[in-house]
Structures are given as C-alpha cells and as structure tokens.
Amino acid sequence: MTDRRAARIELSGVTKQYGAVTAVRDVSFTIAAGSLVTLLGPSGCGKTTTLRLIAGLETVTSGRIMIGGDDVTALGATDRNVSMVFQSYALFPHMSVLDNVAYGPRVGGRSRRQAAESAREALAGVGLAELADRLPSELSGGQQQRVAIARALVLEPRVLLFDEPLSNLDARLRRQMREEIRALQQRLGITVVYVTHDQEEALGVSDRIIVMNHAVVAQEGPPRDLYESPDDVFVAGFMGETNRVKGVLWRLDERTGRLTIGGLTRTVPHRGLADGTVDVAIRPEAILIVDGQPTGGALRGTVSQAAYLGSRMEYSIASEIGELFVTSPAVDAPLAPGAPVALTLASHGITLIRP
Amino acid sequence: MRDGLRRWALVWSLVGCAGLALAPWYAASDGAGPGKLQLLVPGLALLAALALRNLPLRLGRATLGLRLMVLGGGSFIYIAAQGFAIGGQPGMGLGAAVVATSLVMLFALGLAARGFFKGDAFVAGAVVVVAVLVVFFTLYPVARILLSAVQGSDGAVSGRALAERLFAAKIWRLDCLTGGRSCGVGWNTLVLALLTATTTTALGLAFALVVTRTGFKAKRLLRVLTVLPIITPPFVIGLGLILIFGRSGLVNQLMEWAFAVPPSRWIYGLPGVWLAQTLSFTPVAFLVLIGVVEGVSPSLEEASQTLRADRWQTFSRVSLPLMLPGLANAFLVGFIESIADFGNPIVLGGNFGVLSTEAFFSIVGAQLDQGRAASLGVLLLVLALGAFFVQRRVVGRKVYTAISGKGDGGRPAPLPPFVRRLAFGVALPWTMLTLSIYGMALAGGFVETWGRDYTPTLRHYAKAFSVEWGGTGIIWSGSAWRSFWTTLELASIAAPLTAALGILTAYLLVRQRFAGRAAFEFATMLSFAIPGTVIGVSYILAFNVPPIELTGTGIILIVCFVFRNMPVGLRAGVAAMSQIDGSLDEASRTLGGRSFVTLRRVILPLLRPAVVAALVYSFVRAMTTVSAVIFLVSADYDMATTYIIHRVLNGDYGVAIAYSSVLIVLMLAAIGLIQLLVGERRLRRGAPALEALPTGPIA
Ligand SMILES: Nc1ncnc2c1ncn2[C@@H]1O[C@H](COP(=O)(O)OP(=O)(O)O)[C@@H](O)[C@H]1O
Ligand SMILES: [Mg+2]
C-alpha cells in the first residue's frame, strides 16, 4: 500500500451532513497528481470538512472519494496513506521532537532504530536535525510547524493535507513558511491539498484554487483566472476588492463583446451573456488615474478620500458611474480630497459578472 | 489489516471454549455440575464461532458480523435467561463468567464487523463490555429494589403496597410540630438536607471569597483543609463532635464544673447531625464555589467600576448575580450529599432517624423487613435523582462560564469592606472549629476514657493493633488487624479496576461518537447519583440469590467499590480529556495509530494526573466508605469502617478513634506512594503541571 508516487484525488458528489447542518453539499472535483491545490473560502464554508473527508477523519454522508485510483470512501484515516498537518500542529506534547516524528513508523510496526533513523532523515529535510531532543513546547511556532510537516512526511504519504497552516504564525514568518511549503512540494512532487481563507496566500502558493462558498464549490481554476475572470459576484469579491458597475454589452463574435461603461469602451470576453445592460466587476488597480485629457475619452470624478499605504495610494472617487475604489502606485504625487481627476480603464481586470 | 477482527474472533472463541471446558460452571464447589441443557447452547455457539474462521472472504464482513452477533448475543441471552428462569441452580461461577465474557466480546466484534463504531473492534468491545457491566451492576440492582418496593408481603406486585410504604405515617408524620414524639424520617431527611445545603453553601462562599478575593496569606492551608474530608472516614467528624459537645464532652464538663449546669444532650439529634454534615461538606461546596468565583471575569467587574459603581454595587449587581447558578449548584450538591449521608446520622442521630439510617435498621435490626428497606431506599433514590437532575440542568446551562470572550486580564475587584469582614468572620472561626475537632479526634485515642479519666495511654492502639511474636512468626493479635488487612486488600484490588473502568468510559464518552451514546452516558452518570444506602440495599436484594450470588464474598465489596467510585474516575477522565485537543487523536490516526494505540501512546500518558487522581480517589473512598458497605460486609469480609461503626455503636470510642487515626495516616501515605509510583509527566520544563483533584460525594 505504500506508494511513493503522488496520487490523484477525485471527489464525486460528496455530501457531509451534521444533523441538520450540511457542511459540504454535492462537491465534485479532481486534483491532479503532484499538484498543489488550495481550498479557499470564507470561514464556515466547509473547507476543513472537505479536507477531513479526504483524510478519512470524517465519513461522507453520500458520494465517493478516490485516491490514486482506489475507492477509499469506506476506509478510515488509518488506512488511507494520507497525512495531515493540523491547524494547531497537534504535536504530542509529552514526546520529544524525534519521538513525534518517529511515531508513525513506530506504530506502523518498525523497530525503534529504524523509526528513529527515518525520523532523523525527515527532520533533516526540514532543517531541524539539531532540535530532535527538545519538547514541542520548547520550539517556536515556525519550528513546530516544520516538525508537524516532518512528522507528516516521514510516512511518505501519497497525499499531504494542510489545514490553514499559516494561521498561527506572525505575518513576517507567514510568507517564508508558505514558500518553504511550496518548495518542498515541488521537490518531493507530492499531491498537496491546502486549506486557507486568505486569498493572497492562495494566489501565492497554488497550482489551482477551488473556491468554496456555503458548502458548495463556487469556482475552480488557476489563480490568474480566478482573480481576473471570476464567475460571480461572490468569487469576484472574495478574490480581492472590486468595483461593481453597470455597463452595456454588444457581442462581437463567439468569444468577445464590446463593453461600454460611461463613455469608455473595452473589448472583453462576453462569457455567454446576452446583449444589453450587464454587471461588471473592475479591480481597483484596473482603474487608471490619468493626467490631462486622454485620447479615447475619460470618466470624470472627484477624489473624496485618500489614504497612503506605503507601497500604494488608495482613493475613493466619486464619478459619473458611482463611487469607485481605486489604487494607484503613484505615491510620490498624492491627490488631495476634492481634487478633480480623469479616469480610464486598463485592458485587464475587468470582468462581466453572471447574474 | 482488517483481519485483526477475524483474529480476535478466533481468540475469544478459544477463550470461551477454554472457560467452558476447564473452569467450573457454578460457583459452589460441591460437585453438582450443570445440566446438559445449560452448556449445550453456548458450547455449540462457540464451536460455530470457531468455524467462522473458514468463512470465505468473499462473503464479506457484513455476513461475518451478523453471524458473530447472532451467535454471541443469542447465547449470552440464553445463558442469562436460563439462569434467571431455572430455579434451584447454584450461583454461576468462573466458567460461566468466562463464557459469558467471550460471548459478549464476539457480539461486539460482530457489531464492529457490521460497521458500527466506525468498524473499530476495540471501541466496540469497550462500549459493549461497559454497557453490560453497568446493566448488571447498576441498573439490575436498582430494578430489583424498585420491584421489592412494589411487592406486597405476599410477593404479588401491587401499587397499593408501594403507596402504603412510600406514604407510611411513620415516614411522614408531623408529631414533633404538635409537641408529640419525633417527626417522620422523610421530613427529617428533607429538613436536614435543606439546612445543610444552606449552611455549606454560605460557608463555602465565604471561604471561596477569602481565598480568591482577599490578600489572605494562608491560602494553601485552606486548600489542604479541603482534602481532609476526602481522606477522613465519614464518622470522624461525628466522633470529634461527641468528644467536644457530647454528654461527657469537654464543653459539658466545663459547664458542669464552672456553673453546675447539668450535661446537655443537644448534640445527639438534628443540631448535631446538621453541624457534623456542615463540617463534612463545606469543603465540597468550597471546591465548587472557588471555580465559580474565579469564573467571574474580572473585566466585567472592572467595566462596572469604570461605570462609576462602587465596590458594593459592583459586588451586589455584577459579581453576585453572575455567581447565582454556581451557588444553586453548590446548594444542590450539599443537598445530595446530605440525604446520601449515613456516617454522621448513625453516629450522632440518636432518635433522629433519616432515610438512610432507617433503611439500615430495617434490614439489620430486629425488624428484618426487606420490603420496608426497599421502599425507604426507593424514596431516597427519588429524592437523590430529583436533586441530581435539577442540578444537571442548572450546571448544564453554564450561565456563569465563558460570559465574556477570551483574553481576559484584569484584576478581580476587591470585596466591599462589609462583605470582606463577614467572610473572614465566618471562615476563620470555622477553620478553628474544624481543626480542633480533628485535633480532638486524634487526641481521643491517647487517653484512658474520655470524660472520666484523661490519663495518657496507648491502650487503645494496643488493643486494636498489637502484634506478638509466636513460635511460627508474627501473630496479629490486635482486634482490628483482620478488618484492616481485608480493607487494604479489597481497596488495592478495587482501585486499579475502578480507575481503568472510569478512564476507559471517559475515553468512550469524550472521544467516540456512536449510536446510543446519550443513553450510555446517562446510565454511567446515574450510578453517581444513587445514594450508597440504596446501592447497599439493592445489592443485597439482587445478589443474595442465584444466578449471580455474591453476598458474603469479597467480590461483592469490590464490585460495589468499583461501581460506586467509577464515576469519580470518569469525571476526572472527562475533565482531563476535554483539555486534550482532539486533533492529537486525529494526528495519531492519520499516522497509522488505531484507537487502542492512540489511547495507550497518546492519551494515557497525557492523562497521568487524572489517572493518579482516579487511583487515589478510588483507593481512599474504598477505605472510607460506609453507607453501601455496611450492608454487604460479612463475617469473613469485615471492613475497617464498619468495624469502627460497630465499636462506636457499642460506646467503645477509644478503639474507634485510634483506628480512625491509623486510617487517616495510612491514606496520606497511600496518596504519597501512588503519586510517587505513577509520577508526574512534565510537558514543559520548569513548570510542573498543576493537577486539579476532583471531588465527589463521600457517603
Ligand atoms: N463536527 C461538527 N458538528 C456539527 N457541525 C459541524 C461540525 N464540523 C463542522 N460543522 C459545520 O459545518 C460547516 C462547515 O465547517 P468547516 O468545514 O469547519 O468550515 P471552514 O473550515 O470552511 O471554516 C460549519 O457551519 C460548521 O458549523
Ligand atoms: Mg476551518
């Protein structure tokens, strides 16, 4: 059963109910072997439950789960060859770091010597070889995280699961740990499912993102697709700040259409929407503040609030098409509230939203 | 990997066969073997279970499970049914016990094979075994006592017999109000319980406020005082009170000598029992209330102060209302303790009878009326369970915890001066009284005859614990040795069993989700609420006759200890296990550890303090309990406490006091020893883990 190769994960029609609460409803998706896929969504949308269903810590109410081509729906966590890094790390507080990592091989029936040997190897893999004799309580948060990862990897699982792995770390450490996890995954080529509620983290780490909302999958795709062409209002809003405005669509061909917003026009994918008035989501960085009178027309507006955030400026701008939220990299030339501005639209970051 | 289940089925079938073939089926050793009928069914079932080994794999686990369930469950029911139905058989013995156990285990394996308990054979076995034990040793005896209470003298079941007994004039008469004889024991019990609950709650609150809300220095001393009643046999306080306030006690002698006041007997009766119970149960109320007082979030009090409330307003409008549910809980705990108490009323009650003592006298006294004992027991049970359920509802609402979110720092508000003076004014004299009673009880063992001759002597110790060297070695010639060794032996056997059963049950309740869990929890907690007297009477009724004939043996005492005290281990285990993050279990599971491995390698090591607490408590309580045991002791198995009670009833206070002191010292030693043996696991270097010792009713 020990299978060194990464495994593909397939959920079909998976539902999980706790009494009257449906935590996961009819979820289906496939995760390619050797990829890192994030489950992203607001708190309570069912991410953790989905992850625990894959781990075998919960049993499905209905549906089927396949890992590496085997139907594991009826198997318990012990028999799935799937490892998990818990949000709280779940290190055994009464065991040394080495014993924690050696736990899996030990209860799997390997000798004390063999178990300690593979544990040392795994610890070396996360750069903690010299802390083997400490107790978990004597480690920093980041070190505990690494021990948890070593403990999960020592059994060479087919799939590695992370539940909000960075939520207990401080902001500075978070980016470093995220990069380490990504590097480790690429080096070992294992399948990783990664749960987070932070869209930036998801964008930074994933091959693909599965956005969940209210117990169902809202949208699935590569990070760029989700950010730039969200399917609906929820995904658009969850992946980042957006401005929602009305526009008029005129289909040009199979794929694209001409979108008119308050005198500005852009060519965008029409996404199957009919001609006429449509909802549009515009990223704040896709609204450009221009000097003078640009060719091709502009929107007129007045700055109503301005904030300096170090790397960028944030403005609220009252315009002909409504109140707009705009970011600008031009921190050297800040605009004061009351200043009149002309606005145009970038060529990306503008999406039609299905109703 | 899942053939583990088949392997265990094979093992248990073999164990059953061995029990059938090698061990005597009946307990009585005088030859008469069981009829063929009794053995045929279980024998065939076990052989069939053995044959299941060859069941083709393709038939699947569901089929295997069904067969195991039918074979195991069916023949277990058969054994039980024929045991109850066919009269004239001797009580069942080792053989029957082994066979029954293996059949139960086969049934549990069948359940697991069919996917119950997530297919986990260990969990299935544990749940089924605990359930069967609780049914046989808690529910069945209680059913028997209920049955006895509704049976008339002719044996026929009638509601009238029950009604007559429950509402008998003797229990509910009110003569004492109209100047007649004493009131009925029902009223006595109720009034005493209400009085005791009131005083213990008030005193407990005073102590809790002193410890948590004042700069009082000797906090540790107060904490130690709370351990005293746990290691004290329940009548020691009564003895101490007699030495001080009794007819020939210090106070009466002083009054007679100084003012020629004739000695008074006020201590024997309601006032004395009330005082003794208040002394005994105040520490319990204190332990309940200290958590309550500490649970009042300081930030709420600080908020009140920043809103310009003064100390008294803050105390009366914020702190006190927040403590109300906790006070109600402490009151109910005191009420339950009081009605279940046997030791104090029997020592000090005199003509003031309560339900527990009355039940005792109607079984051992000249009346020998089991029906009456049963109905008094049922009444006691109704009161206790009623209070228990009210208490669970009060606690269940948990109004007083987690009121404001996390991250509460802040300092508790100082008490208003008036409340502060009151708390100190109550707590300090009370502490002195408690200490002097214990001092008196200890000193009483070293004088000739209290009240008449205060010559120092070791006579009482010699009488009880003398040792001689004879030709063949040591001769334990003291009169107490016999009961002493019996007590030690039975308590040592019972303690690990109790702790194991309690912790295992806690694991099942906290960590496993299965169908029927609520009923399971209810049944295990039920035995907690049953007063010891009721257990005593019901065990006599249930286990005096085959098929489970245990009276007169040491086993019945051990069984009684285990099931009386198991809830303490259970509570310690539940409390400790709820502190252990469930993700530790899950981490172990994803790393390949099955439930038993997880329990042994992850949970138990983390539970050490709870295991120690459970061991200590079950040992100590086995040594100090009176109420249930006094019904179950026999000539061969006399216990220390019952021996002492009988000395007290004979007026032989010297030996009783000497023996009690020895018990207290012994238990202190035992606690130290167990602590040392089991050790303490540190999870954090430098800071030893603080352990919270649970308490429970001591009756
Ligand atoms: N053991 C449980 N019992 C009952 N409800 C649960 C349980 N676990 C999760 N839920 C519910 O299922 C929903 C999804 O929970 P979860 O998967 O933890 O969300 P997320 O991880 O996305 O924040 C929530 O509404 C939660 O209350
Ligand atoms: Mg979650």
| CA-based end-to-end distance of chain B | 48
Of A59, A92, A152, the CB nearest to B584: A92
Return the structure tokens found at A273: 């929407």
Inter-chain residue contact B592 with A135, CB threshold 8 Å: no
The pTM assigned to this predicted structure is: 0.81
B584, B590, B598: best mutation site toward chain A, by most A Cβ within 10 Å?
Answer: B590
What is the rounded CA–CA span in Å between residue B608 and residue B616?
Answer: 12
Inter-chain residue contact B583 with A90, CB threshold 8 Å: yes
Determine if the peptide bond prior to B547 is cis (ω within 30°). Answer: yes
Find out whether the beta carbon of A39 lies less than 6 Å from any atom of ligand 1.
no
Beta carbons within 10 angstroms of residue A40's beta carbon? 29
In ligand 1, which atom is closest to the CA atom of A50? 17
Predicted confidence band at A49 (pLDDT cuts at 50, 70, 90)?
very high
Predicted confidence band at B1 (pLDDT cuts at 50, 70, 90)?
very low
The C-alpha of B595 sits at a distance from chain A's nearest C-alpha, in angstroms, of 10
In ligand 1, which atom is closest to the CA atom of A212? 22
Q: Do residues A126 and A147 lie in contact, with contact meaning Cβ atoms separated by under 8 Å?
A: yes
pLDDT, tens only, A162-201 = 999 988 888 888 888 899 999 999 998 999 999 999 999 9
- State residue B684's pLDDT score: 43
Predicted confidence band at A114 (pLDDT cuts at 50, 70, 90)?
very high
Chain mean position to CA B155 = 32
Inter-chain residue contact B683 with A103, CB threshold 8 Å: no
Structural domains in chain A, sorted by start:
9-233 (3.40.50.300), 242-353 (2.40.50.140)
- State residue B30's pLDDT score: 58
Of B581, B590, B602, the CB nearest to A77: B590
Q: Is B607 on the interface with A (CB under 8 A)?
A: no
Inter-chain residue contact B581 with A90, CB threshold 8 Å: yes
Cα of B595 to ligand 2 centre, how many Å?
Answer: 24
Find out whether the beta carbon of A52 lies less than 6 Å from any atom of ligand 1.
no
Q: Is B686 on the interface with A (CB under 8 A)?
A: no
Structural domains in chain B, sorted by start:
185-449 (1.10.3720.10), 466-673 (1.10.3720.10)
Computed on alpha carbons and rounded to an integer, the radius of gyration of chain B in Å comes to 28
**Residue owning the nearest CA to atom 20 of ligand 1:** A44
Inter-chain residue contact B591 with A90, CB threshold 8 Å: no
Predicted confidence band at A17 (pLDDT cuts at 50, 70, 90)?
very high
What is the rounded CA–CA span in Å between residue B413 and residue B212?
Answer: 10
- State residue A4's pLDDT score: 54
Inter-chain residue contact B591 with A135, CB threshold 8 Å: no
Of B1, B120, B591, the CB nearest to A103: B591
What is the rounded CA–CA span in Å between residue B332 and residue A186?
Answer: 62
Which three-class secondary structure state does DSSP give residue B454? strand
Instruction: Please report, for residues A119, B357, B513, the alpha-carbon distance to residue B517 in angstroms, rounded to integers and kept in the order given.
Output: 39, 36, 7
The C-alpha of B505 sits at a distance from chain A's nearest C-alpha, in angstroms, of 22
Inter-chain residue contact B601 with A107, CB threshold 8 Å: yes
Cα of A151 to ligand 1 centre, how many Å?
Answer: 26
Q: Do residues A114 and A78 lie in contact, with contact meaning Cβ atoms separated by under 8 Å?
A: no
Listed in sequence order, the DSSP H helices in chain A are: 47-55, 97-107, 112-125, 141-153, 171-188, 199-205, 223-228, 233-239
pLDDT, tens only, B559-610 = 999 988 888 788 888 888 888 888 899 999 999 888 899 999 999 988 887 8
- State residue A147's pLDDT score: 94
Find out whether the beta carbon of A46 lies less than 6 Å from any atom of ligand 1.
yes
Cα of A48 to ligand 1 centre, how many Å?
Answer: 7
Pick the range with the lowest mean pLDDT from A46-55, B195-204, B645-654.
B645-654
Bridge partners, residue A159, by sequence: A82, A191
pLDDT, tens only, A231-267 = 888 999 899 899 999 999 999 998 899 999 988 889 9
pLDDT, tens only, B511-543 = 888 878 888 888 877 777 788 888 888 898 888
- State residue A304's pLDDT score: 93
Q: Is B118 on the interface with A (CB under 8 A)?
A: yes
**Residue owning the nearest CA to atom 10 of ligand 1:** A23
Find out whether the beta carbon of A18 lies less than 6 Å from any atom of ligand 1.
yes
- State residue A152's pLDDT score: 92
pLDDT, tens only, B457-510 = 888 888 888 888 777 777 787 888 889 999 999 999 999 999 999 999 999 988
Cα of A215 to ligand 1 centre, how many Å?
Answer: 9
Q: What is the ipTM of this complex?
A: 0.82
